[in-house]
């Protein structure tokens, strides 16, 4: 069997199109509905997706007048989903800027135990002053500093996950020894950002530690991915940009001494699918008609760091926007959106329409065969190891993708028909990490 695709389902309330909640079929309260999320997870698991993914931020997302903005805490929700699924991976977003390593390492180790080895952590540094002010800060730390903190956060987290040896537990009732104390090691970390003394109060988890996922595409983000990430979620609107990103991250991983095949690149794709191309275009047009442009312009203006009045709907973006170096927020997303608008000479109204479907991710409208062809082309031309599937409308967009697109890819030998393992790492073809202390001891080094 040759190389096969990986698919992650990105669950985003009623769908990734910002107007999806306004369709007659949509439930505007789906964002807080456990049964809704359980249904999506089961559909994805029945289809043999590698994983489901929940985005998150410690701030109210955008204007609540614009679209559903509430979010359940993702590790709590995924723990509930773990009880109703058996194989699919469960990936939650959590910030290194507004958490502490001990609590977060414990939370993800707990999820990995509860799910039988299916947990993943999407590591984010969280851009934006609004989030910073929720934690008593005047504004966000510098972009570079956020990534420096994130790197140390991961150092501490892996020490904590490895603080129990795999064979520490003996549970010898006769001798009265539950665990071997010399195989439970304190973290003893003292660094620039963190001071953590003790061992984790959760044993080493089934996967060794959760799958590490990263989503930043700036230069700092790419360096961080090369060092830590085992899967990378990325927004790449064109094949050329996708190939360049794929090649660059794999090269950086190799330079960091890692196997590039152990870093899976999954661009986002927002498929709008119809039985005919005309039918798909009609659905896309219906969604675009439901966008409230005044709300969307406010959001765009915030991202571009300009006043909304400087963005007339029927004109292109102004020439004097800040450079990426001047932006301390989401640098890669900022550049992606500006370059998209410049390259295609889009007016603000047209740009809002493009972003309404996928916020800069690859959007594709067409028949099941056309969607399958696009996925295969990116996969076979060095732009993707798989895709972060982002249906424009949920659950219907997922149901159509599963029923109409996956059979085509399976017929072409590009996607599994059954799970071959039980853990998320096994789905992605990744090894279980060796305990760093065991490695050091074998080498005769004090870790």
Mean pLDDT within 109-133: 95
Write the CB contacts of 72 (distance below 8 Å, at least 6 apart in sequence).
31, 32
User: Is the sign of the CA dihedral 296, 300, 303, 307 positive or negative?
Assistant: negative
Instruction: Say if pTM beats, i.e. exceeds, 0.85.
Output: yes
Q: Indicate the burial class of 309 (C-beta count within 10 angstroms; 0-12, 13-18, 19 or more).
A: exposed
Confidence of residue 442 (pLDDT cuts 50, 70, 90): low
Mean pLDDT within 202-218: 94
Which of 47, 3, 34, 35 has its CA nearest to residue 391?
A: 47
Is there a contact between 385 and 7 (Cβ–Cβ < 8 Å)? Answer: no
pLDDT score at 61: 73
Domain 6-273+362-442 architecture: Alpha-Beta Barrel (3.20)
Phi-psi region of 435 (alpha: psi -120 to 50; beta: other; left: phi over 0): beta
Report the DSSP beta bridge partners of residue 365. 272
109 to each of 194, 205, 311, 312, 339, how far by Cα in Å? 19, 6, 46, 49, 40
Does residue 360 register a pLDDT over 70? no
Question: Which of the residue ranges 58-72, 145-159, 350-364 has the most confident prediction, judged by mean pLDDT?
Answer: 145-159
Largest separation between any pair of C-alpha atoms in the chain: 80
Mean pLDDT within 391-402: 96
Return the ∠ at Cα 227 (arms to 221 and 233), rounded to 5°: 50
Does residue 77 register a pLDDT over 70? yes
pLDDT score at 356: 63
Mean pLDDT within 430-446: 78
pLDDT score at 134: 94
Q: What is the dihedral of CA 193, 199, 202, 205, to 10 degrees?
A: 80
Write the CB contacts of 63 (distance below 8 Å, at least 6 apart in sequence).
69, 295, 298, 299
3-state secondary structure of 305: coil
Q: What is the pLDDT of residues 317-344, one digit of tens each?
A: 888 787 766 665 565 667 778 877 888 8
pLDDT score at 325: 64
């Amino acid at each position: 069997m040759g190389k096969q695709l990986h698919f992650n389902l990105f669950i985003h309330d009623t769908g990734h199109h910002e107007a999806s909640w306004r369709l007659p079929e949509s439930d505007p309260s789906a964002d807080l509905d456990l049964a809704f999320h359980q249904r999506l997870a089961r559909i994805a698991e029945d289809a043999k997706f590698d994983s489901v993914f929940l985005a998150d931020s410690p701030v109210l997302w955008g204007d609540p007048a614009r679209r559903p903005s509430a979010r359940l805490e993702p590790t709590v929700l995924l723990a509930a989903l773990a009880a109703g699924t058996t194989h699919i991976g469960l990936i939650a977003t959590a910030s290194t800027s507004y958490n502490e390593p001990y609590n977060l390492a414990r939370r993800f180790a707990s999820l990995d135990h509860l799910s039988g080895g299916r947990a993943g952590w999407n590591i984010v540094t969280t851009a934006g002053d609004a989030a910073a002010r929720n934690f008593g800060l005047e504004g966000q730390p510098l972009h570079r500093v956020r990534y420096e903190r994130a790197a140390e956060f991961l150092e501490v987290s892996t020490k904590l996950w490895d603080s129990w040896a795999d064979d520490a537990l003996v549970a010898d009732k006769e001798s009265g020894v539950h665990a071997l104390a010399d195989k439970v090691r304190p973290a003893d970390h003292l660094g620039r950002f963190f001071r953590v003394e003790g061992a984790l109060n959760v044993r080493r988890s089934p996967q060794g530690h959760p799958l590490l996922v990263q989503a930043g595409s700036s230069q700092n983000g790419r360096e961080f991915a090369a060092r830590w990430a085992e899967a990378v979620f990325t927004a790449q609107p064109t094949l050329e940009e996708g190939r360049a990103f794929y090649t660059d991250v794999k090269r950086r991983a190799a330079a960091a001494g890692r196997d590039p095949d152990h870093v899976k690149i999954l661009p986002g794709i927002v498929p709008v699918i119809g039985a005919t191309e005309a039918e798909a275009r009609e659905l896309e047009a219906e969604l675009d008609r439901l966008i409230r442009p005044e709300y969307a312009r406010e959001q765009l203006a915030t991202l571009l760091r300009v006043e909304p009045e400087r963005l007339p709907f029927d004109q292109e973006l102004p020439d004097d926007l800040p450079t990426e170096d001047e932006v301390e927020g989401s640098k890669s997303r900022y550049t992606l959106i500006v370059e998209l608008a410049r390259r295609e000479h889009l007016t603000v109204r047209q740009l809002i329409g493009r972003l309404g479907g996928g916020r800069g991710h690859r959007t594709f409208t067409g028949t099941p065969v056309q969607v399958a062809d696009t996925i295969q082309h990116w996969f076979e031309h060095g732009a993707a190891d798989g895709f972060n599937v982002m249906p424009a409308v949920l659950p219907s967009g997922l149901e159509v993708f599963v029923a109409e697109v996956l059979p085509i890819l399976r017929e072409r030998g590009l996607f599994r028909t059954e799970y071959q393992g039980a853990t998320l790492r096994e789905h992605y073809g990744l090894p279980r990490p060796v305990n760093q202390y065991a490695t050091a001891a074998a080498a005769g080094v004090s870790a």
